[in-house]
Amino acid sequence: MGASSLASILAACSNSTTASVSSGTGKNSGVPLGPSGQPLARPDRRVTLPLWEDPITSGMQPETGGEFTVFNYPDYIYPKVLKDFGKKYNVSVKVTPFDDINSGITRLASGAVQPDVTEMTPDNLDRVVAAKLIKPLNLDYIPNLKANVWPSLVDPFYDGGSHYSAPYTVYATGIAWRTDRVTEDIEGMSDPWDIFWESQAYKGKVALLSEPRETIAMALLRKGHKDINTEDPALIDQAVSDLKELYGICNIKVGDLQYQTVPEDKAWLNQAWSGDMLAASFYYLPKPSVGKLLRFWNPGRGNGPIQNDMWSICSTTKKPVLAHLFINYMLDNGVGYSNFINFNGYQPPLNEVNPDELISKGLIPENLRNSVLSEADLGPDSLQEMTLTTKGQQLWQNGYSQFLTGA
Amino acid sequence: MYPRWLWPAFALPGVVWLVLLFLVPFYAVIGVAFGSVDPILLQAQPAWNPLDWNIGWFSQVLGELTPGGAYWTVFIRTVEYVVVSIVGCFLIGYPVAYYIARHATRTKTLLLILLILPFWISYLMRMLAWVNLLAPDGYVNRFLIWTHVLSTPYGFLDGKSSTVIWALIYGYIPYFILPLYAALDRIDRHYLEAARDLGASPFRAFVHVTLPLSKAGVLGGMVLIALPMFGDYYTPNIVSGAPTTSMIGNQIDLYFHGGPQPTIGAAITILLSAFLVVLMGYYMWTIYRASKELRGA
């Protein structure tokens, strides 16, 4: 059996997880449905998730004492920020890390962890709500959402009314490289994604993100397919076939440590998130002079993926008021700014974060200006990797599996 | 004098251990491979009752593991890496074990401690240490440039099969040497003396006496390292990262790590186990035959 057809065949093999499609004659008729029975959210298709319980009532005092647990990626939040929050509300704040959001959700669902707040992503929101793993928010406790956050994320398309989430960071997917190693004018290329297919000179030093969605989406974009949520098997097969060309061109590698490997000269050309080179610049420079060599190409609105991470309150919380206050605290201008500049490198979507100001203050080097996003990067025509039907997820995973075989 | 159940009861902890930590988890993997997936959380829903098994995923993966199938190349690559690594472990490990067992006297304890020393540090840490050593500006490249062997850094970490194989050898060789040392140390020296008295040269005595008598130790060491090597995914991830050097364990990791198809990961795991059972069967048969010959002698 040919490898190229595996994705579609295996996707068809499932007998237990079928995609639902809405019926009727409304504006959402024929639209695929997510686990909660809602249409799958897209930047041009707004979804409001139903409340599975009432939010907590307003005006309550925060719980104090004991532990407050944040469920998050490792090293994705500034420890000082957490310490200050704990001091303010007289709790001991600890972080329980997860490897990736899928394994995090698995642990939440199994009850293996019982955190108070969790990091979440828009493409998983529908299913964690359907499984009642997160609680509805009472926005009265989170005034910073309206006051400080980019308006488009105050009431985002994937969570109308911010019923379950508040944004944490935003990031675009682009290309990172070192100017002392890569000589091409990547930003001046007619299609910068082509650089990976023209990287014979950098064999062994070229890498892609180890993420099925990001990798295949890049190959789709290179061929001009802007629907990065497609579930067309022919398009996925073609994208995988294109990715396989990279074996011979540059012995392509995959990984998610580009914020280390690029500054350390282990990778010269790397698919990357916009926060990576900033984090590299803040924390991982082997010597300061390397900072000036780092570059990031941001495809810009409508040309490359842009995503945001979020905070949600876990159903397991014993401190629901404090959990709301934590989210509000993270959306405070000073806290968000400190978390971004002093540690994280991933930008909070706060109105006060201004690229020009950050550069003029010397907080972000001019050569990484492209790593800072603005609200204009979002919008109905932005490309966001959103929830797929189960069959769609199988298709993408099997496609990535084929790429990973190296055959 | 003692109740009849007393001595068999000593096996109870081992049996409980085996049932709880091997048989039950293994049956769970089988249940996952033949089960379904929760449509909301995309988590495995094992089918515990064989009457409820869905063989769709399993037969599909089985087909993909045959020549021309999607996983065939990565499977063959895994076999190649493991075989070459085992040969490497044998070539490096046998002389070491032989020296410690037969020739080290006062240094024997020290050498054994040095052999065990790597176990004190986690496998992952040892591999990460090699990443720093083999990096473009790592000590290995610096030394090779300093000694004029190289003029520019060599790309050890640029997705090379040789690096993955050396890393496998480095990571697993202590597990090969220790059982081999034990086997060599147990060989009765009188056999060797008899061979020499009968006119055999040291080399012939080694080939005709030591080597056959250490066969069980060699095979034991090989089995001990082959089993974890076949499921390894982090070694190629850490020292290479290139899909062209990935192993079948990387596929299992991909499907188990998240996403809607843990069933595929479980099916590959079972088929890999079945393959390893065949190898284990050969080992058991060889040991059985060797012990039968010994009894006959």
Q: What is the mean pLDDT of residues B149-176?
A: 94
Q: Are residues A342 and A398 both part of a single domain?
A: no
The nearest CA of chain A is from the CA of B196 a distance in Å of 53
Q: Are residues A264 and A311 both part of a single domain?
A: no
**B279 versus A53: which is more confidently predicted?**
A53
> Do the domain assignments include residue A89?
yes
The CATH number that applies at residue A140 is: 3.40.190.10
Domain count of the fold of chain A: 2
> Do the domain assignments include residue A62?
no
Q: Which residue in B240, B218, B13, B195 sits closest to A404, CA to CA?
A: B240
pLDDT tens, residue by residue, B178-194? 999 999 999 998 999 99
Q: Are residues A156 and A249 both part of a single domain?
A: no
Beta-carbon contacts of A11 under 8 Å, excluding residues fewer than 6 positions away, are A233, A391, A394, A395, A398
B142 backbone dihedrals φ, ψ, rounded to 5°:
-60, -40
The one-character DSSP state at A41 is: P
> Which ranges of A291-354 does DSSP label H, i.e. alpha helix?
320-330, 333-339
Query: Mutating which of B130, B244, B245, B250 best tests the A interface, going by the most A Cβ atoms within 10 A?
Result: B244
Q: Are residues A138 and A196 both part of a single domain?
A: no
Q: Are residues A133 and A184 both part of a single domain?
A: no
pLDDT bucket at B288, cuts 50 / 70 / 90: confident
Q: Are residues A325 and A191 both part of a single domain?
A: no
**pTM of the model as a whole:** 0.88
Among the listed ranges A6-10, A211-215, B123-127, B255-259, which one has the minimum average pLDDT value? A6-10
pLDDT tens, residue by residue, B239-250? 999 999 999 999
For chain A, give percent helix, strand, coil, nearest 5. 40, 15, 40
**pLDDT number for residue B297:** 57
State the average pLDDT for chain B: 91
- Residues of chain A scoring pLDDT < 70: 1-29
Q: Are residues A391 and A350 both part of a single domain?
A: no
Q: Which residue in A291, A337, A393 sits closest to A148, CA to CA?
A: A337
Query: Each residue of B122-149: b (16+ CB within 10 Å) or e?
Result: ebeeebeebbeebbbebebbeeeeeeee
Q: Are residues A268 and A332 both part of a single domain?
A: no
Residues of chain A numbered 31-50 and touching chain B (CB < 8 Å)? 35
**pLDDT number for residue A26:** 54
Among B40, B155, B258, whose Cβ lies nearest the Cβ of A204?
B155
**pLDDT number for residue A61:** 96
> Do the domain assignments include residue A152?
yes
Map tokens 């944490």 to a residue.
Answer: A168
Q: Are residues A178 and A271 both part of a single domain?
A: yes
> Do the domain assignments include residue A277?
yes
Q: Are residues A91 and A184 both part of a single domain?
A: no
**pLDDT number for residue A363:** 83
Q: Cα–Cα distance between A363 and A353 in angstroms, integer?
A: 11
pLDDT tens, residue by residue, B71-116? 999 999 999 999 999 999 999 999 999 999 988 888 999 998 998 8
Q: Are residues A188 and A297 both part of a single domain?
A: yes
Map tokens 């009849």 to a residue.
Answer: B4
Cβ-based contacts of B81 with chain A (< 8 Å): none
Q: Are residues A260 and A270 both part of a single domain?
A: yes
Could you tell me which chain A residue has the CA closest to the CA of B55?
A13
Q: Cα–Cα distance between A349 and A313 in angstroms, integer?
A: 19
Map tokens 């990387």 to a residue.
Answer: B250
Q: Tell if the CB–CB gap between A127 and B71 is shorter than 8 Å.
A: no
Rg (CA), chain A: 21
**Which residue segment(s) compose the domain that A212 sits in?**
171-304+383-404
Helix (H, G, I), strand (E, B) or coil at A48: coil
Among the listed ranges A243-252, B35-44, B139-148, which one has the minimum average pLDDT value? B35-44
Number of other CB atoms surrounding residue B274 within 10 Å = 10
Q: Tell if the CB–CB gap between A203 and B255 is shorter than 8 Å.
A: no
Structural domains of chain B sorted by starting position, each given as residue range(s) with its CATH number in brackets: 1-64+261-297 (no CATH), 73-257 (1.10.3720.10)
